Structure 1
């Protein structure tokens, strides 16, 4: 694994060793893609961000010092670019879709807090399932219909015989509870549909 303090390897990179650069790419490309895809929910955009991070590494290789941690360097670039995209999306959504904006806000907060030692996805899946099970019955039902069946608020309201405002209230409550339950874990709302379908 290419982590930690790597004076000899850094020197190879500084000198333009393309084989070593390929090794770094092969080791970190997929994990970084998984991370950015789950936050951005857009595979093409996520891959572009990761590719840009590797391009930046190659362009800046001569500025690296012998104690550089390449894993942290790449992770920080990807994380910051994801944060920037989420912030731009928030601006667009803020005045249009309150619930979606809240989800994105929680995504941003969660991504901002994590470091490069992010959780194993299987462990996260278990934590998410446990958190959803703890939701009040009506909240859980509305949340699952919205996130896993991908029904619109209007459709949920019609099926359950309640108002759209009540649907929004249940979703808001569910998000707040889940945010609290999962505050110590890598993250959050965008992963629910991906892991639990």
Structure 2
């Protein structure tokens, strides 16, 4: 293999053919992803080809190849772990932000409901919290069903106009 450093393509092709499949098998056992393993083996051989004048192939060529493969696989796995950690942290931050926004919106809405007239406040609570129908509310409050409907529309309209639902 001493001819590798002088640019003999045939020797390098033989080297590639000899170690390609074992290299893919080795990396697939680490990565559990054959396609990525194939890409990495090709990357290692490409780097070897580009740096062949600087490499010493005399002693332990097989050890050099498999050490290079192991290193590239571990670098890849570290990057995957780092990317996954960043993704998880981002999702947690988004969930925390969403929860905070929901809490703030709920508080603003609750305060606005408290400022409604007693009649509208009661209609809102009976409709939303207790799930009562217009007729049930009318019976409870001893008002017409149409009054319930109109008061609910006005209450919702007032809440839309007074509560800022935009994300802060």
TM-score bracket for this pair, using the shorter chain length: 0.3 to 0.5
Larger radius of gyration: 2
Question: Which structure shows the higher helix fraction?
Answer: 2
TM-score calculated relative to the size of structure 2: 0.47
